[in-house]
Structure 1
């Protein structure tokens, strides 16, 4: 029997296409994996799996014991007209390919396939360790850099039961940071989503830094917050910061909490939520005045 070569998003999908071409059950065919699939950016298939298969050869019976089997004319023409068939199993629209004869598989074969599929769905997913999760995130970022044609290194800087921190270092990575860190924030969210897809609620915090940007930004924000707090203490006037992401607002609140005489609060709605620094004595006076009026 001639070999039939097929492709698919996965090895199993390619094998199923082989079985469809041959019109036999899994136990009646043998396979050779020619090429494993390659996963590209965001988990999308970049290179399909390539498999070839054929019906397992059977030792022929003696000449007297053999019986001629009748075959459909279209089946004979199909085998005679092609020595090396290549099929994808599905066309671009996801429909069964129409070129050539494709014998239907009987109900028993389809039932067995259904049982195998259900067994795979019901089997529990193996638990993944924190180290393995960090490696998943690291590989995702490496694939992202490859797709963006950026030469850089991805390292795991910190890992515990609650969080992981990864850093990207290299040359000319400004476009990966973006204005006010907008791109790096998006990259971090994508990385968190990939980790959550493997670990669910146990993913913990996932932080991504590029060329130390977050550390530098945090240090600059801490210095600016202290200077604004001094202005509030000397003038008694509130200072309103520009809109920030939640992680940066937390930096401001943490710094203000260490300075006596000033406090901070967040106002507005995402994505335009911002921080206000005010004198604690002024706010306390307002609260006391309100309490006297209500009493």
Structure 2
């Protein structure tokens, strides 16, 4: 009997698929585990279990080549295998033959590495998950992440439409989820978006995550900083080169300075080491900045 391979979320499911494919009981089949599978946090990045299976081989009583039976003329030297067959042996043969030729439901010999048609239906359904369900999935992920960090708090959806969703975490001692200059928060947001995208495919849209109002406080601080530095540039005429910033932070600087007369900004460098340069402008023209803001630059 040829081996078949099946996969499932765990070993039990993989075995059930093998039994269903072969149409027999578990006692009549033998398995080999190819991959026990593994799970990860909240099922994200889960690896399926994989086995191979076949009907357990049945071995009838060994039979030697026999001459036509002549029971009444059997010689004294004849081996026991040539003796008349007893009723019990005949019964045994009748039992063994059906096992060797056991009828079973034949199915296409497709590789079980590929999902069956029955399992393909849930995938189609996942592609049509509602925006509310996607937001709930993001909430559950963030709640589980907080639990893993040993933190307590509340995750709420602050905005949801067909193109974007915003979530916020509030609680005590959440600094470890923010990190220096929001670096950990940025990573948390990207992973949350990946979780949503896994459920929604290309329809994930924009996913934003904030923690204890950090992003709003960061925006207010950067806007004040930009205005203060713009005043110095306008007074001295000297260019100011800022430290490396993330794209969202650079955009806040560009947008703030765009409203201040006689001062402009531009971005220089390559990611992730891109930074903002602020300068006093002369005769002006408009040019689109790479960070999505319109900045005034020297012509």
Q: TM-score range by the shorter chain?
A: 0.5 to 0.7
How far 1:120 sits from its partner (Å)? 4.2
Question: CA, structure 1 residues 71+14, in 2 after alignment: closer, same or farther (shift >3 Å)?
Answer: farther
Indicate the residue corresponding to 2:130 in structure 1. 129
Which structure 1 residue ranges, 5 or more long, are not aligned?
1-7, 30-37, 49-66, 76-103, 289-295
Indicate the residue corresponding to 1:10 in structure 2. 9
Aligned equivalents of 2:177, 2:276: Cα separation in 1: 26
Indicate the residue corresponding to 2:190 in structure 1. 189
- In the TM superposition, structure 1's runs of 4+ consecutive aligned residues that sit over 6 Å from their partners are 104-107
Describe how 1:25-104 pairs up with structure 2 within 5 A: 25=23, 40-41=41-42, 43=44, 70=95
Secondary structure of 2:189's partner? helix
More helix as a share of residues: 1
Indicate the residue corresponding to 1:85 in structure 2. none
How far 1:206 sits from its partner (Å)? 1.0
Secondary structure of 2:106's partner? helix
CA contact (8 A) 1:152 1:169 kept: yes
Aligned equivalents of 2:245, 2:280: Cα separation in 1: 21
Which of 264-273 and 139-148 deviates more?
A: 139-148
Aligned equivalents of 1:118, 1:9: Cα separation in 2: 11
Aligned equivalents of 1:273, 1:187: Cα separation in 2: 21
How far 1:248 sits from its partner (Å)? 0.7
Describe how 1:1-295 pairs up with structure 2 within 5 A: 10=9, 14-18=12-16, 20=18, 25=23, 40-41=41-42, 43=44, 70=95, 108=106, 111=109, 117-120=115-118, 123=121, 125-126=124-125, 127-281=128-282
How far 1:198 sits from its partner (Å)? 2.1
Aligned equivalents of 2:272, 2:207: Cα separation in 1: 20
Aligned equivalents of 2:229, 2:45: Cα separation in 1: 47
How far 1:22 sits from its partner (Å)? 9.3
How far 1:10 sits from its partner (Å)? 3.1
CA contact (8 A) 2:197 2:203 kept: yes
How far 1:21 sits from its partner (Å)? 6.8
Question: CA, structure 1 residues 42+235, in 2 after alignment: closer, same or farther (shift >3 Å)?
Answer: farther
Render the CA deviation track for 1:168-197: whole Å, top value 9, x for unaligned. 111111111111111111101101111122
TM-score, normalised by the number of residues in structure 2: 0.62
Q: Over alpha carbons, which structure has the higher Rg?
A: 2
Which structure 2 residue ranges, 5 or more long, are not aligned?
1-6, 27-38, 50-90, 286-296
Aligned equivalents of 1:250, 1:223: Cα separation in 2: 14
CA contact (8 A) 1:157 1:167 kept: yes
How far 1:202 sits from its partner (Å)? 2.4
CA contact (8 A) 1:265 1:275 kept: yes
Aligned equivalents of 2:201, 2:112: Cα separation in 1: 28
How far 1:227 sits from its partner (Å)? 0.4
TM-score, normalised by the number of residues in structure 1: 0.63
Secondary structure of 1:225's partner? helix
Secondary structure of 1:149's partner? coil
Aligned equivalents of 2:138, 2:213: Cα separation in 1: 18
Quote the RMSD (CA, aligned, Å): 3.8
Question: CA, structure 1 residues 157+115, in 2 after alignment: closer, same or farther (shift >3 Å)?
Answer: closer
